Amino acid sequence: MRPLQTDLSVFNKFKFEKPPIGVKFQYFKPEGIPRLDKSLAFCEMIKEAQRIRTPFYFTKENENCFGKVPLGMQKVASWGEGGEFGASLEIFQEPRANARIYQYVPKFPEGTVNYVALSSLDKLTFEPDLLILIATPSQAEIVLRAMSYSTGQLWESKVTGVLGCAWIFVYPYKSGRINYMPTGITFCAKALEPIPEGWILISIPWDWLPIITQNLKEMKWVLPSYSEGRERYLKRKESLIAKLTRKAENP
């Protein structure tokens, strides 16, 4: 794996309660990193990386849920793709509703990802494919604003009620788009409780990291309008509108 060269130290300024996690998808086995010694669901791997604070990788033998499917490590069973599982768990009214989501869920091509490495940011030694943050709403607003600060990029959240792991891990990697979602809203997040609800989970693909980090260094994290109070903000807003109007009328 390519050694870490991107300066991610600006994320330390957030003082996240839960450390950011770097993720790497590999065809070949990562060198110098131990294999996970237990079986977990894909979504639980974030919590495990935050808990042990030591890099590790996992294979399909370590994944005990449906995360192997979006990773391309295993084909979905016909009864699963037919919607029978989700309907049996009463997540969906009928199999047809469950079956429909498979046209949306992102997946890696079969056999292209055989190993997934994870590391907390403080122990990260490789260039991550994704940096995953678990933030408060106020922290998330700063990160998302850093995305659009120099680009004007749309903020968007994409997720399905099941296979939420696909939208955390696979979608940002394949689409090159930052994705975010509240924790605790997908089925496995409720059933397995990998991360307490009420946080904002943000997944940043590698090509956005230089933009985000540079903008975080340049922009104001807490805007004056956020701290001056409603009345002062309204007065300043009206003053600015009047100033811009005069300037437009007298160029």
Give the pLDDT mean for 10-37. Answer: 97
What residue segments make up the domains of the chain, in order of their start? 9-219, 227-251
**How large is the angle between the packed helices 209-218 and 137-148, nearest 10 degrees?**
100
**Residue 251 reports pLDDT greater than 90:** no
Q: What is the pLDDT of residues 152-196, one digit of tens each?
A: 999 999 999 999 999 999 999 999 999 999 999 999 888 888 888
Tell me the pLDDT of the chain averaged across its residues.
Answer: 95
Give the pLDDT mean for 132-146. Answer: 98
Specify the pLDDT at position 20: 98
Cα gap 38→130, rounded to integer Å:
23
- With beta carbons less than 8 A apart as the criterion, state whether 187 and 165 touch: no
Q: What is the pLDDT of residues 210-238, one digit of tens each?
A: 999 999 999 999 999 999 999 999 999 99
- With beta carbons less than 8 A apart as the criterion, state whether 98 and 91 touch: yes
> What pTM was estimated for this model as a whole?
0.94
**Chain position carrying tokens 């678990």:** 134
**Residue 9 reports pLDDT greater than 90:** yes
Specify the pLDDT at position 192: 86
Share of the chain above pLDDT 70, in %: 100
- With beta carbons less than 8 A apart as the criterion, state whether 137 and 99 touch: no
Specify the pLDDT at position 179: 98
Worst-scoring range by mean pLDDT, 13-17, 188-192, 246-250?
A: 188-192
> E strands along 29-107, which residues?
56-58
**Residue 76 reports pLDDT greater than 90:** no
Best CA proximity match to 167, nearest among 148, 187, 197, 151: 187
